[in-house]
Structure 1
Amino acid sequence: MGEGLIAPKNKSYDVVIVGGAMLGSAVAWFLSDNPDFDGSILVVERDPTYEFTSTVHTNSCMRQQFSNEINVRISQFAAEFVKNFREFMGNDERVPDVPLHSYGYMYLADNEAFAQVLRENQKLQAACGAGTKFMTRDEIKRDYPFYQLDDIVGANHNLVDEGYFEGSTLFDWWKRSAREQGAEYIANEVVGMAKNPAGTRVESVTLKSGDVIACGSVVNASGPRAVLTSRMAGIEIPVEPRKRYTFIFSAEQPLDRDLPLTIDPSGVHMRSDGTYYLAGCPPDDDPAVDYDDFVQDFSIWEEKAWPVIATRVPQFEAIKLINSWAGHYAYNTLDQNAILGPHSEVENFIFVNGFSGHGFQQSPAMGRGTSEWITYGEYRSLDLTPFHYDRIAQNRPFLEKAVI
C-alpha cells in the first residue's frame, strides 16, 4: 500500500463518496443522519489535509440574489440551517453557534438595462420571501455615503440572511458527526471504476491502495476534479478548474459602517471581513488551469482589483494588502450551475458537481437533496431536478442571470 493511504475496513459499501470536502461531507452527514437510511457509507478523500480544496479557499458567502426561484430557495434553506445549526445537529451541546453576518450583497448596475434585470430579479426574490430591495442611486448614497456612484443607476440590496458565514464550522462538524454516525472516512484515492456488462451501473471502485470495493451507489463529490472521476465511469461533464483570487486588506481610514458584499460592474467584489476587508475577482483571461496550479498573479491586484476598489470607495485609496490566495472554482462551462442527481445511463452514478463558486451556500440543500435521492429515489424537500445531468446530455443550459 502507498505511503499514507488507508485501506477501508470492508469490501463493500452501500454508498461510496468520492471526495470528502464540503459537498462530500454534506452528503455523508445528511445520509448518516437520515433515519430512513441504514446503509454503509465510505468517503474517500485523496488529500485529508484539504489544503488545496475549494472548501479551504472559500469566502463562505451566502445570497438570495439569484434570478431563478430554486436557487433562491436553496440559499434560504442554507440560512435556516446556519441560524439553527445546533438544532439541526441534534441539539448536541458541543456544537457551536454559527454566526451569519448579514451585511447583504450590494449588486450595482451602471446601465439601465442591467438595472431592469435587477428589478425583475427583485420581484422574484421578494415573491420567495427574500428581503431584497431595489435602491436608487440617491438611496444608496443615503445609506452608504462612502460609495462613489457617478456611474451607477441603481442596485439590489438585501440585509436579511445574506452576507457571509463561518462555513468551516459546518464542514468540521459534518465530518465529525458523520463519522460518529457510522460514515467511514479514509485517506485514499479512487483510481478506477468497473461497470456491469450492460454499462448501467458501477459495480466497484478501485483505490490507489489496490483495494477493490463493491458499491451500491457512487457519489462524485470531487470538486474541480469532477471530470477525472466521471471519466472512470466513461462519463464526460463540462467541469474544469478556474482560478479565482481573494485579497484581504486593511484600510488606513476604516469605514464607519459595514461594507456590504459589493459587486462592482467591473466584476470586482469586496466586503467587510472582521476588522479587515475582503476583495476578489476573476482574471480577465479566464482559462481552465492545471489541477495543481495555485500560483498567484499579483498583477491582478495591482492592475484590476485595487484600482476598482479605490475608485468605488475613495476612502480605500490608502489600503494595505494583508493576505491573498488563489483557489479553484469547479466551473461548469455549460451554465455555471450545479450538476446533480443520477447519470441518465449509469443509474447509480450520482453527481454533486460544478457549483462554480456557489458550493458552500448550496451545500446544506444539496447534501439533504442527494441524501433523499439515494434513500427514496425522489426529492422530498426541494425539487432539485432542474440541476440533473440530463440537461448536460441535451446541451440545455439552466439559465441563471445572477452568476458572479
Structure 2
Amino acid sequence: MAGEAFDVVVIGGAATGSSVAFHLAADPAFAGRVLVLEKDPSYQRCASALSAASIRQQYSTAINVQISLFGIAFLRSIGARLAVDGERPDIGLTEGGYLFLAGPQGRAALEAGHAVQQAQGAHVALLEPPALSARFPWLNTQGLSAGCLGLSGEGWFDGYGLMQAFRRKARALGVTYRAAHARAVTVTGGRVTGVVLEDGETIACGAVVNAAGAGGRAIAASAGICLPVHMKKRMIFTFTAEDPVPGCPLLIDPTGTYVRPEGRGFLCGAAPAPEHDPDSDDFEVDHTLFEDVVWPALAARIPVFERIRPGRAWAGHYDMNAFDQNAFIGPVEGVAGFYLANGFSGHGLQQSPAVGRGIAECIVHGRYVSLDLSPLAFSRLAADKPLRELKVV
C-alpha cells in the first residue's frame, strides 16, 4: 500500500529526531519535504522525557567534548533559536556543574580526561581534597584523591521542554509529524527507497534518519545493518533532605552513584552491577537498588543524606552501544540515504543539538560543515576501531 512521498523521513520524534528535522527545515539550502514518524506522540516513555536531563563537557573523548560545547551554546540561546511567533522556550537551564570524584585508583583517568577537556576549551578544574573540602564543606573527602569540577557550561535542564521546543519549531518550519510506528526501511540497489509502517503502508523517500532510540536496532536490521546496541534499564530516584547541601553540583561518586538538585529536593541513581543489568524493555522500578546501593553510597559521601525522605521514582532506558559506549552517527556506507543516530549510551539528550545539525548537514550538503562527527561513524565497527568513552554515568 503506497502512501505519500517525502524527501526525508525521520524515524523517532524525540529530541534527536526533532533536532534533525529542525536543522533540515532551517537550512536555506534545503527545500525538500520532511516527515517525522513517532509511535508514541504522548512521549511519556521516551528517553528524552525520562532522563536526568543534564549536560557536561567532562568526557574522555575529544569529539564528545566538542559536541557538548556546541550543545551548551545552543541551550544558552534556545530562546532565540527556537522561538515561534515571538514565544521563546525556556528550559530552565541551571549551570550547576558536574563534580567527578576519584579514589586513588581513579586519579590517573581523571587527570587524563581533564587534559582532554582543557585541550578542547572546556572550563573545568582539577581539585585536590583540601580544595574540595573548602568548596563543599558538606562533602566527606575520605578516600578521595581528587575531583574534577565544571566551572561553567555544565548542569541540568528540562529535557522534555527541549524536545518539545525542537518539535514545535520544526512544525512551524513546515515539517510534518505523524503518529505511526515504522516497521522497516526498504532498500533497493543499495539505496533507501522508503519506510514501511506497521499497517503496511509504504512511504517513499530518498533518505531515512534512524533516530528511533531503543527501537533503533530493529530499524537498522531491516536495512541489513547490525547494531551492537542494547536496551538497558536505568532508574531515577528522588528524595528531600532534612539539612541543606548548598551549592551541590551534579556529583558522581567513585562508586558510580550520582546525585543532583531537583527543585527543593534531589534526584539520583546508579547503573546496576553488570551481572544484574540484562537487556530490558520494561519500566518497573527496583527500589532495592536505592535502598541497598544508591542511598548508602550517597550517605557515606554526603553525611547529611543519612536523613532523607524518599520521593517518587521512575525507569527509562539507555540505548547502550556495547562496542564502545559512543553513538553511531551519520551515513552508512553501502546503504545510500540511510543515516544513523543510535547507541548514545545515555548521552543523547545533551548531544541532540550537535547531532541534529550534523546529520542535517550531511543530508543537505553531503558532508559535515560545522563540526566533523566522522569519529562517530558506523564504519569504525567494521574496522574494529572502537572510540571508547570511559565516562558513562
Q: TM-score, normalised by structure 1?
A: 0.94
Report the 3-state secondary structure (helix = DSSP H, G, I; strand = E; otherwise coil) of the residue aligned with 2:357: helix
Deviation at 1:403, TM superposition (A): 2.2
Matched, 1:253 2:246: no
Matched, 1:265 2:281: no
Mapped to 2, the partners of 1:87 and 1:168 lie a distance apart of: 18
Contact residue 242 and residue 286 of structure 1 kept, 8 A: no
Aligned to 2:301: 312
Matched, 1:238 2:228: yes
1:9-32: per-residue Cα shift (whole Å, max 9, x none)?
A: x62111011111111111111111
Deviation at 1:349, TM superposition (A): 1.0
Aligned to 1:82: 75
Deviation at 1:158, TM superposition (A): 1.1
Residues 288/37 of structure 1: CA separation in 2 closer, same or farther (3 Å cut)? farther
Aligned to 2:270: 281
Mapped to 2, the partners of 1:152 and 1:42 lie a distance apart of: 51
Contact residue 69 and residue 128 of structure 1 kept, 8 A: yes
Aligned to 2:13: 20
1:334-353: per-residue Cα shift (whole Å, max 9, x none)?
A: 01111011111112110011
Mapped to 1, the partners of 2:233 and 2:333 lie a distance apart of: 30
1:109-151: per-residue Cα shift (whole Å, max 9, x none)?
A: 111x421222222222222221111000000000001111111
Mapping 1:57-76, distance limit 5 Å: 57-76=50-69
Contact residue 12 and residue 212 of structure 2 kept, 8 A: yes
Deviation at 1:271, TM superposition (A): 1.1
Q: Please tell me the residue identity of whatever aligns with 2:156.
A: Y
Aligned to 2:87: 94
Matched, 1:155 2:144: no
Matched, 1:210 2:209: no
Mapped to 2, the partners of 1:35 and 1:127 lie a distance apart of: 33
1:301-359: per-residue Cα shift (whole Å, max 9, x none)?
A: 11000101111111110111111111100110101111011111112110011100001
Aligned to 1:48: 41
Mapped to 2, the partners of 1:96 and 1:221 lie a distance apart of: 23
Report the 3-state secondary structure (helix = DSSP H, G, I; strand = E; otherwise coil) of the residue aligned with 1:347: strand
The RMSD of aligned alpha carbons is 1.6
1:229-284: per-residue Cα shift (whole Å, max 9, x none)?
A: 111112110111101111110001122x1211111111100111121011111111
Q: Please tell me the residue identity of whatever aligns with 1:163.
A: G
Mapped to 2, the partners of 1:349 and 1:283 lie a distance apart of: 34
Contact residue 66 and residue 400 of structure 1 kept, 8 A: yes
Mapping 1:330-345, distance limit 5 Å: 330-345=319-334
Mapped to 2, the partners of 1:395 and 1:215 lie a distance apart of: 32
Q: Please tell me the residue identity of whatever aligns with 1:349.
A: F
**Farther-moved stretch of structure 1 (165-174 vs 88-97):** 88-97
Contact residue 136 and residue 247 of structure 2 kept, 8 A: no
Q: Please tell me the residue identity of whatever aligns with 1:96.
A: P
Q: Please tell me the residue identity of whatever aligns with 1:25.
A: S
Question: Which residue of the other structure, out of 219, 228, 235, is the alignment partner of 1:229?
Answer: 219
Matched, 1:386 2:357: no
Deviation at 1:92, TM superposition (A): 5.1
Aligned to 1:366: 355
Q: Please tell me the residue identity of whatever aligns with 2:216.
A: A
**Farther-moved stretch of structure 1 (11-20 vs 162-171):** 162-171
Mapped to 2, the partners of 1:23 and 1:107 lie a distance apart of: 26
Mapped to 1, the partners of 2:49 and 2:92 lie a distance apart of: 18
Aligned to 2:115: 123
Mapped to 2, the partners of 1:40 and 1:203 lie a distance apart of: 15
Mapped to 2, the partners of 1:170 and 1:306 lie a distance apart of: 30
Mapped to 1, the partners of 2:7 and 2:278 lie a distance apart of: 34
Q: Please tell me the residue identity of whatever aligns with 1:185.
A: Y
Deviation at 1:370, TM superposition (A): 0.5
Contact residue 258 and residue 272 of structure 1 kept, 8 A: no
Matched, 1:184 2:173: no
Residues 286/29 of structure 1: CA separation in 2 closer, same or farther (3 Å cut)? farther
Mapped to 2, the partners of 1:96 and 1:173 lie a distance apart of: 6
1:142-164: per-residue Cα shift (whole Å, max 9, x none)?
A: 00011111110111001201111
Q: Across the two proteins, how many residue pairs are aligned to each other?
A: 392
Contact residue 60 and residue 361 of structure 1 kept, 8 A: yes
Mapped to 2, the partners of 1:148 and 1:74 lie a distance apart of: 33
Matched, 1:323 2:312: yes
Mapped to 2, the partners of 1:266 and 1:55 lie a distance apart of: 25
Mapped to 1, the partners of 2:276 and 2:359 lie a distance apart of: 31
